[in-house]
Structure 1
Amino acid sequence: MEALEIGPLDARDIIYMVTGFALFGLTLQPALARYKIFNLPLLYVLIGLGFGLFGTALLDPLGTSVETKVVEHAAELIVIIALAGAGLAIDTPATWRSWNPTWRLLIVAMPLTIAAVALMGHGWLGLGIPGALLLAAALAPTDPVLARSVQVAPPGQDEGVMELALTAEAGLNDGLAFPFVWLAIHAATLGAAQMFAGEAWIWGWLGFDVLYRVAAGVLVGLGTGWALSRITFSRWGDGSRGAWNAVVVILSATLISYGVAEAVDGYGFLAVFLATRAGRSRTRGTDEEGYEKYVHHGAEQLEAILLALLLLWLGVFIGSGALAGVTLAEIGFALALILVVRPLAGLLALAGIDCKGIERRKVAFFGIRGMGSVFYIAYAQTHADFADIDAVWRIATLTILVSIVIHGYAANLLLEEAEFTETHPHKQGGTPAREGD
């Protein structure tokens, strides 16, 4: 009898196996989260880095235009799902007083961070003005994906000042950073001098990219959220039929609100976050309240799956040479942004807030950078030619890696276990009980 011959593994076999193990690893996270040395994002990046060092094929955003597009849309998808989940998770109504820390972070901290990063990128790292503006826009927002560990718990749980501020900031600042991405695109297309000339500045950027696109995103988000919520809780909708299609509901609502907003040239990130906020607000305090827990759980699972895959990709990208040529100045920049620029901007924004000093410092410190930055750079790259796009990718990738290490371990060490489990009980495992179970 002849022995069975097993051929060598090809790339497809490796992708299937690694993806399977990565997804299975997500099921172990609740049990391992109690150990302070456990840093799941870093672990996945390191696994991907190992494959990258051994020459595993990857999607290189600096390669073909098709690869750049795939990276752009993969990062885009995980960000909008994370934004939908963030919008559902927040129970506190969005008033000026209750969300005061968030408004301060958006109005003060983010512009200060953009200005500081642009100045450092141009004056310290030697980037051109378009590249420096793109780096600033990409690295200024708090990432809604990698900041999950310091955000609010699922709907119906207590919300601390820190968790609410970071979740709402991450939900809104991704959309509000987009005008500065377009500023970088215009600067690369028209030239910095022409971009800042009167007509281009006032009508091309301030009038359209800031005022119109923001307003369109807000209106589409609120309108689609309200309409989809009404349908969901009608006699035909999933909300009145056992919540068996909650994952489908959150995915469809995310794609509809995003697609409609982008179709009218609005900011889809804003639309997605505000759509789920509108749906949550419409049902708060009514007999329909409670369904959002199932939908939020579906969003979390979709987000976790995509995050595992993108972190593996990030590791492969790094292992394949994304950080080749990194300089001490760039390392210093990444550390300065994480440890100095964002914390100082956050503290200035939150000065005078009525909360414990330690809470204020935590909010200022946990400005986590992540997948939103990947999307912004890939998006800008497909819309304009940036002379120093290689350096922008290298610096941003380095900064994301530094953020994963520092913020990941800081969340484990600085957040007390009691605080973590009380405000994030879902991290210990379990799913919402479905009606009728």
Structure 2
Amino acid sequence: MSKQEDFVLRALEERDVRFVRLWFTDVLGSLKSVAVAPAELEGAFAEGIGFDGSAIEGFARIYESDMLALPDPSTFQILPWASEGPATARMFCDIVMPDGSPSYADPRNVLKRTLEKAGDKGFTFYTHPEIEFYLLDDAPQRGRVPVPVDRSGYFDHTAHSHGTDFRREAISVLEAMGISVEFSHHEAGPGQQEIDLRYADALSTADNIMTFRSVIREVALSQGIWATFMPKPFTKHPGSGMHTHVSLFEGDQNAFHEAGAEYQLSKVGRQFIAGILTHAKEITVVTNQWVNSYKRTMFGGEAPSHVCWGHNNRSAMVRVPMYKPNKGPSTRIELRTVDAACNPYLAFAVMLGAGLKGIEEDYDLPREAEDDVWSLSDRELEALGIEPLPKSLNEAIHVAESSELLADTLGEQVFDYFLRNKRKEWDDYRGQVSSYERDQMLPVI
């Protein structure tokens, strides 16, 4: 038994933990959970907890359904919102086959494989997400337009507001679970919030994002309101994204930093950006995986909709933030297209996979976008060589279907299932008759 496993077993007894929830995600990023008694945990560490993989989205076919959830003791945390009565803890799991081999359908394993590939090149991948979401006054009801909890705007400070109280409590819960928060504030839309998590390695960040979503929903419910990470819940208000800052480190050195280079950005950093841009259209189906995602990127106010990069240019898909003197480790890039509702394991994997491809193949970085891209006409964009991102889930699927990078990064099983699921989502969506169509046509036709 490892020291971490021994620590967990002792903590169960010392903290009077009666229930342990084992967490993992399906291919679409939905959180799954199975509760075990503390007495079963030692066996779970050794052998895993068996479950029917064919019942989980994208995991297995009926004839190969037996799978095991293997708890990762490094992710052990007490759940603060389950404080009444006996304590409850959680751990994330790796999904393995009966012979102990990793499941290729496990999103966490997809990311771990890509991180190992980066590790073989001497790199560690760090991420820092800025997560946006809306707070609504009640749970969603079919046919009813949701109502935000306030009418505040960007950085507004209002006394006794739902948002202020909510963020304070949510951050307290996150920090009680060992998740460090860097910033929090009201975003541009009414009821829209942003909470930024501190830099961490990509696997820890992905675990933290899944925990973050649960915490946000639990705290909202405890206050009689509803939280949603839907990319574009309102026609007239901004969408919710997850701008993600990323960097590669070689040991203690930031591989993106080069003193004296333009923007202090190294050749590795420039190649990484070139990889993201070259494969931007292919990975969009993963970073923006929902049919509603394209309402945000195409009509979302300040969401990027074209393949370009720029220094401190918030209209660009990839932004190189302003360099802070004498802070080489802070050199990073920011990918601004990512949804708050993506599967973070798969999103980080394809981002890293694209960036590594740029390094491996020595991609050239195109000219940066110096203008406000949102203000340029289609003709001006074409003259500058700036191409549009997919305008719909359907477009994103068509691009992804022929992507070798996506197939290699996700693995055959996840790649196949993910695209099949997205095709069905698009078919279901386009077959629906919307209230817009009825409102426009019934009175006159």
Which of the five TM-score ranges fits, normalised by the shorter chain?
A: under 0.3
TM-score (norm 2): 0.25
Say which structure, 1 or 2, has more relative contact order (CA 8 Å, 6+ apart): 1
Structure with the larger helix share: 1
Structure with the larger strand share: 2
